Amino acid sequence: MSTDHNDNAASSIDADKTPPHRLPRPCRFRLSFLLIIAVYPLITTLLYVLMPLTSTWETWHRTLVITPVMVSLIVFLVTPAIQRHFGWYVLRMPRPQR
């Protein structure tokens, strides 16, 4: 079998690339601190809204309702907002100028 000319060209192009810049590792302590600050009011609000509606329910029933709501809020609202506004803090980088 003959070698394809495109394979040789692709490998020489790859050799000319500079290594990508590496971002600093996120600080888990800082991220957890920001998540606590953001999630606490959400949990408290959900409990105040849900408790009167579910006063006769068992605790595990309430938890079954609150968990998917909280996880969805954290994944789709809280975490992206933290990354957008405080990503520099979590990554231990200087604060960007506005």
Domain ranges of the chain: 25-90
- The stretch 18-47 carries a mean pLDDT of 89
pLDDT at residue 60 is higher than 90: yes
The DSSP code sequence of 50-84 is HHHHTTTS-HHHHHHHHHHHHHHHIIIIIHHHHHH
Provide the pLDDT confidence category of residue 24 given band limits of 50, 70 and 90.
Answer: confident
Placement of tokens 């590792």 in the chain? 25
The pLDDT, as a whole number, for residue 1 is 55
8 pLDDT higher than 60: no
Full-model pTM: 0.69
Q: Which residue type is seen at 91?
A: L
More confident residue, 47 or 11: 47
pLDDT at 31 (0 to 100):
94
31, 90 contact by CB (below 8 A): yes
The average pLDDT across 17-27 equals 75
- Which residue in the block uniquely carries the two structure tokens 């309702």? 65
Cα atoms found within 13 Å of the Cα of residue 17, Cβ hemisphere only: 9
